[in-house]
Structure 1
Amino acid sequence: MYEKKFGEIYDEVVGKLWNCYNAPNRSSFSQRVRRFAEWAKKVSVPSAIAEKIAKMRKNIADFAAAYDFPGAHRTSNMPERLMRRTDRHLFNTQYFHGVISSSELGIRGWSLILNFAPSNPYTVKKYDGLQSPAERLNGFRYHDNWLHNLLISASLGGFRGPPLNPL
């Protein structure tokens, strides 16, 4: 057994983990995870990593269930990122006070600002100058000022239709 630096082992672990994640079907995924766990024992990865790999091996059936839903995401990172921001906002506003209607308006207002406020420069560059999630959804912007975009989008331009969810 030859000694490797932690960074080299980490790079190999990430590569092999990606290989598992990128498996084309359920049986291939299961086999790749088993081989990954065997490899981890053979090269004696650090204990913190080895514990996570063993846990993955133990829960292989739970992870493989994602293959029953083709086209679905296999991780929950995207919703968790949104929920983390929502949870932080609710914590900072001390959750819900007063009547439910004011709490609902607070969450709706915060969501609108999130959708129309400019993203960071890296994200703007990545999406060819589209500055907010609303612009990326629409593919254009009405005005250079994000607040004007919010007001224009929310105005309905005189359109009044039936409620979306009539009671």
Structure 2
Amino acid sequence: MKPSTRQAKTITLPFTSPEDYIAMIPDTEKFREELLSIFEKHPELFPPDFEGRFHFVGTIESKKLGITQRKIRLLANNETYQVRPSFIMPYMTGLTEDFERALYLRSWGVPFHALTYCFGGYDMFWYRAFTSLGRNNVVGTTIKSEESLPEHLTGDEKHVKYFGVKGYIATTAGNGAMLGASFQYGASEDDLIEGYGVFAKELSLLAPEFTPKTVNTDGWGATQKAFAALFPGITIILCFLHSWISIRDRCKKAKALLNSIGDRVWDAYRAKTKRLFSQRIRRLREWAEKELSEGIVKEKVLKLCSKRAEFSKAYDFEGARRTSNEVDRMMDFQKRQIKSMRGLCGFEDSTDRFFRAVCLLWNFRPHASDSEDEAPRSVFEKINGFQYHENWLQNLLCAASLKGERPLHKKR
């Protein structure tokens, strides 16, 4: 998707309540105090040149909603911005409370026609409401400080059909968040540089000097070359799980043999140190050469052992991913979204926005809690340690203030 050249001009803020917001609209002094109070808590939601110095220059009124929004002009650069409360959807299409339950159900792939049946409206109304979320910078909307930037990534391509033609969704994950998803027709090095380059561009916009330390990928050479080209100096770590799967798929019917190999393979994987891992891989090779019959299974086991150097790189970086399981779970989430629409059939730009919206849905929807006493938390809250609003969609809209394109700040 070609990035928009229009500058983000909307500041989205978590006002206390709709009633309080409506009451302070006529009172410019009270409205100013509220803006300064929010700025003190969350400066990242405001333009870099805000500095608390501005004046009011007009209003925008929605006859449909009966709500007025104020416009401000910064004294530092004379730029004008619209101030929108998070309880209003973008473009004043409605109140957030009328959208959040329906869009939350998209987490389980509830079709848009089912949302129409349950909540009214029409199918394309809900589709557009959902895909409009994808207009925001995914990385900037999700990551709110330099301390939260992901040092260790996982990347893979989701295979899809687009009007019957095979395509790929270049998907990037880090810190448990889905940080990028871009549709490409091919999976060559150039295609994937373009696909993963969307994530790289968004990341550089927020933190120009930051480079991830590692990325875990499967064995597809184009994926590895793409990340190496986009992030010079990054360490490529090969996914251990993919090598095991290639063994497992060749001996599913031979349960005893599968268990015998599996015990040794995963015993090596659980090694606490790089040295111990290397020792166990050597023992696995010796056992395979002695005990396994010639054939495809033995070939795959020995192939796993030959990749010891690529696997063991993870021990050099604390927190590095040893498998691509993180991004695999997210691609399963993408699969449910695609299945609910019976495949992809929109324009390329809207398809890209759809998958970017899927990223933000994954990052902001409340996930099931680990215990009965713990409230559901979103990936956003786990990464940043806070939330702007207890309502997940209002939290997302606040995080997407200025389309999530403001450079990151350090925690104060």
Q: Same fold (TM over 0.5)?
A: yes
Q: Which residue of 1 aligns with 2:277?
A: 29
Q: CA deviation at 1:41?
A: 9.8
Question: Matched residues in 1 for 2:303 and 2:403: separation?
Answer: 55
Task: In structure 2, list runs of 5 or more residues that go unmatched.
Answer: 1-254, 292-296, 408-412
Tell me the secondary structure at the aligned position of residue 307 of structure 2.
helix
For residue 380 of structure 2, what is the amino acid of its counterpart? A
Q: 1:160 to 1:111 in 2, by over 3 A?
A: closer
The TM-score normalised by the length of structure 1 is 0.61
How many aligned positions are there? Answer: 143
Residue 144 in 1 paired to residue 390 in 2?
Answer: yes
**Map 1:2-151 → 2, pairs under 5 A:** 14=263, 16-21=264-269, 22=271, 24-25=273-274, 28-36=276-284, 51=297, 55-68=300-313, 70-71=316-317, 72-93=320-341, 94-98=343-347, 100-122=348-370, 125=371, 129=375, 131-151=377-397
Question: Matched residues in 1 for 2:403 and 2:387: separation?
Answer: 22
Q: CA deviation at 1:163?
A: 8.1
Aligned 8 A contact 2:367 2:378 in 1: yes
* Greater displacement, 85-94 / 107-116: 85-94
Q: CA deviation at 1:131?
A: 0.7
- The superposition leaves residues 22-43 of structure 1 with CA deviations (integer Å, 9 ceiling, x where unpaired) of 2522x6434313434666899x
Higher helix share: 1
Aligned 8 A contact 1:20 1:33 in 2: yes
Tell me the secondary structure at the aligned position of residue 118 of structure 1.
coil
Q: 1:163 to 1:149 in 2, by over 3 A?
A: closer
Question: Matched residues in 1 for 2:404 and 2:399: separation?
Answer: 15
Question: Matched residues in 1 for 2:389 and 2:331: separation?
Answer: 29
For residue 78 of structure 1, what is the amino acid of its counterpart? E
Question: Matched residues in 2 for 1:61 and 1:29: separation?
Answer: 13
Q: 1:119 to 1:20 in 2, by over 3 A?
A: same
The TM-score normalised by the length of structure 2 is 0.29
Tell me the secondary structure at the aligned position of residue 148 of structure 1.
helix
Larger relative contact order (Cα-Cα within 8 Å, sequence gap ≥ 6): 2
Higher strand share: 2
Question: Matched residues in 2 for 1:162 and 1:145: separation?
Answer: 22
Aligned 8 A contact 1:34 1:57 in 2: no
Task: In structure 1, list runs of 5 or more residues that go unmatched.
Answer: 1-5, 45-50
Q: 1:63 to 1:73 in 2, by over 3 A?
A: farther
